[in-house]
A and B are shown apart, each in its own frame.
Chain A
Amino acid sequence: MLNFLKILATPEFFFSIIRISAPILYATLAAIVVEKAGFANIGLEGLMMFSALAGSLVSYYAGSWFWGFLAALLTGVLMSLMMGFFAFQLKTDIILVGIAVNMMGSGGTLFLCKVITNLTRGKAMASTTGLITKSLCIPDITIPLLNKIPFLGKVLSGHNLLTYLAFLFVFLTSVMLYRTALGLNIRAVGENPNAASSVGVSVMRIKYIAMAFSGLMSGFGGAFMSMAYAQGWSLDMVSGRGFIALAAQAMGGGECLGGMLSALVFGFAQALGIKFSAVGLDSNLASPIPYAVTIIGLVVFAVVRNRRVKKQHSVAALEKAAGR
């Protein structure tokens, strides 16, 4: 037990928490912004799958991670706009749109992968892990000076470019929501769409923008999965991160900072699972840990929230009593 704690107290462990949290964090920011705009995008999982595939394939064909990265972003945005079309124009239940995209994101990406590799290489491949080399991945960044600090340097330096960007986006998203006209519009549309449309804010347009933002974040997340977290795309590689993000959004109270903390909690759970299997626990027992933690997290959050509501009620009662 003590030995195990020793393993956990290493900088590598904390490093891995941050690394593992990054894709969840992207998806969480996506979930936060659409929620502020008044709806839910449960298709993040599928969006990330498509982005991950597009990123790794384009990176391979262009011979440059940069183009792959851009392709991943573009894929996320275009697919999310398509989702928006079905949800907002054709009035499909947004949850069903999400389910459909997730279904396509599973087998459909494999189909595309096989077809595209078959067309270009004459051989249908079930993953792109054989195509992506380290140089086609998004680079890691060593931060000068910071990397010299003992322990902390090893935790914070040497992460992937996209990991740093993920945490930067927490700040940027927060600024966007609370300091810009766009953010004002998004919050207005989410809270009272009639008020927004009555002053000429196009609710549809804002919802599309929020949707596209979620697609963009999914694009980052997807690119991270296939070009940083792993080398190349493989079937179902996002494995529920898009869903976990929905829980992180709820647990974070719908705010960026809270969402980030929740994402880190899930990152911790997953890193812990990996460590467990490293010290000999069956990986099939370690793997479900983050999913179980998600359910527990939602329950804890719900209990705390209910308590708070009750407390507010008693505060109101007290004030009333004082007023009398």
Chain B
Amino acid sequence: MPDERASENYVVRMKGITKVYPNGVAANQGVDFDLRKGEIHALMGENGAGKSTLMKMLFGLEQPTSGEIIVNGEKLELTSPSVAIAHGIGMVHQHFMLVPSLSVAENMVLGMAPKKSGLFVDRAKAIEITREYSEKFNLHVEPEAKVMDIPVGMKQKVEILKALVRGAKILIMDEPTAVLTSQETAELFVELKNLKNQGYTIVFISHKLNEIMEITDRLTIMRNGRSMGVYNTCDVTKEEISRLMVGRDVVLSVQKDKAVPGDTVLRVRELEYVNEWHKKMLDKVSFDVRKGEILGIAGVEGNGQKELIDMLFSFNVPNSGTATVNGTSILGLPQQRIRELGVSLVPEDRMLYGIAADASIEENVISDRASDKRYNSGPLFNMKAIHQEADRLIREFTVLCKDRSQHVGMLSGGNIQKVVVAREFSNDPVLILADQPTRGIDVGATEFIRKKLVELSRSGIAVLLVSADLNEVMELSDSLIVMHNGQIAAYFDDTAGLTDEIMGEYMLGLKQQSDQEIRRACHD
């Protein structure tokens, strides 16, 4: 347990924080959290554990329903980020809070722009300030470049500088390494240690165990909106942390028989895509998914997985290449036709694509089959058939709800995802595209969905599983692709014997299989 004598050094104390969102979701329940001056403190937990909510309250973006926040001994009502900033709290968001069309310097001084003649923005001064801070903290940026033109690593440096220039002494970093290359990560760690030595306090939100062990002093673990305790990093092992985070001694493992792959269902060849910022997001991607197998796609987010799924479900069209389902080309087809061919998609962003939050569960589960003869009699719906179908799916997929007429937006994340998979798994698919199917949902729903995926694949359905969750892809997949930089970096026809280390090397681009090895992903 942490040393009690150090209590006079606490710069932040959050006590008994509870947050209930307007939709009834209790994201934080009685959480205690504190920070000592000059430490790097990890805040850990799975997606949806409530870490972000807690930090949003510390940064004034959200207000707690109950509980108190004490900063430097003073009890505060953090009603907005300005109040937090005024008390020396800065935040580096996971999704950068930058205005793309403005220059680095303009972004730096946004909200505190130096003026000349009392009215106009003093651009020269803004650039000067940017240079000064950039040098002082050894964070290299280009003040005059537009933010939309600079690389990700530099954007993050701008974000850190932005907080520092506003006088932040406490820096909240929300999954800062999620978007960085390994080299950039290493660079960042040097910078963070440097800041720590200068007396800055850093909250480091992450679920990457190695990083946490490397640079943090203490850690707080969250699970299901509650704090699971505070520990000195040197006193705990990775295994203990993992157990506290996911609440299991063993990594979730799904029983599955060996796959007996059949004919090719999805055939992707030489897919290429250049995005609107002229970055090549897909580079000659070719692979097959066969009946009865789960092909996993692993990789750090942003390496072309999203674009691949977008192409396969016609949200976008590639610059070149082909993709066929049972011999029929699917590129550029309307979604209706793609679904008629038997393709289902569990979308990455379930709130954006997967559901209509203000519609009932029933209306959500029939969205792809509303025109089907079974559910219509003449010009009107056959309500009885629709009710039956909805009730059946709610039962079969154990959606926890009041009844079929409840609005989906009122459900918990896990149950929302169950509504999505209930629809996508029950329309007799030949191919399921599952994009981050268990992200941010509870353990029960996760296990349920994973089991279903295996079950469906063993019944002869082809499954393409995209997941940033290494456990998930390695446990579920029969064969596995690693994507890096828009390319297939590796293909494994069997996941047995694969380790995190091997995967990591391919995911981070340290290693790359030969063309010949990669070509095995095509079963011609």
Direct A–B contact present (CB less than 8 angstroms)? yes
Give me the interface of A with B, judged by CB distance under 8 Å: 179-181, 183-185, 187-188, 191-192, 194-202, 312, 316-317, 319-320
How many Å from the CB of B119 to the closest CB on chain A?
6
Q: A195-B98, A199-B166 are in contact. Are A180 and B110 (CB under 8 A)?
A: no
CB-based contact A188/B102 at 8 Å: yes
29 pairs from A and B in contact (CB 8 Å cutoff): A179-B121, A180-B120, A181-B113, A183-B121, A184-B110, A187-B99, A191-B102, A192-B98, A192-B100, A195-B96, A195-B107, A195-B110, A196-B110, A197-B80, A198-B59, A198-B81, A198-B91, A198-B93, A199-B81, A199-B97, A199-B166, A200-B81, A200-B85, A200-B166, A201-B111, A202-B80, A316-B274, A317-B319, A320-B319
CB-based contact B319/A196 at 8 Å: no
How many Å from the CB of B443 to the closest CB on chain A?
30
Residue of A nearest to B96 (CB): A195
* Residue B101 CB within 8 A of the other chain: yes
Contacts of A194 in B (CB 8 A): 93, 95, 97
State in angstroms the CA–CA spacing of A194 and B101 once bound together.
Answer: 15
Q: How many residues of B are in contact with the other chain, CB < 8 A?
A: 34
* Residue B115 CB within 8 A of the other chain: yes
How many Å from the CB of B90 to the closest CB on chain A?
9
Known: A179-B121, A320-B278. 13 other contacts (CB 8 A): A180-B121, A181-B113, A183-B121, A187-B99, A187-B101, A188-B102, A195-B107, A196-B111, A198-B81, A199-B111, A200-B166, A202-B82, A317-B319
* Residue B362 CB within 8 A of the other chain: no
Residue of A nearest to B107 (CB): A195
**Which secondary structure dominates where chain B touches chain A?**
loop
CB-based contact A196/B121 at 8 Å: no
CB-based contact A316/B119 at 8 Å: no
Contacts of B86 in A (CB 8 A): 200
Residue of B nearest to A201 (CB): B111
CB-based contact A192/B121 at 8 Å: no
Contacts of B97 in A (CB 8 A): 192, 194-195, 198-199
A-facing residues in B452-498 (Cβ within 8 Å): none
Interface centre among A187, A195, A199, A320 (most CB of B within 10 A): A199
Contacts of B112 in A (CB 8 A): 199-200
Q: A179-B120, A199-B111 are in contact. Are A192 and B85 (CB under 8 A)?
A: no
Contacts of B120 in A (CB 8 A): 179-181
Contacts of A180 in B (CB 8 A): 119-121
CB-based contact A200/B106 at 8 Å: no
Point out the residue from A184, A201, A317 that lies within 8 Å of B106, measured CB to CB: A184
State in angstroms the CA–CA spacing of A202 and B110 once bound together.
Answer: 11
CB-based contact B81/A191 at 8 Å: no
Contacts of A195 in B (CB 8 A): 96-99, 107, 110
Shortest beta-carbon contacts, A-B, top 8: A200-B82, A195-B97, A201-B111, A198-B97, A181-B113, A199-B111, A188-B99, A200-B85
* Residue B276 CB within 8 A of the other chain: yes
A-facing residues in B36-60 (Cβ within 8 Å): 59
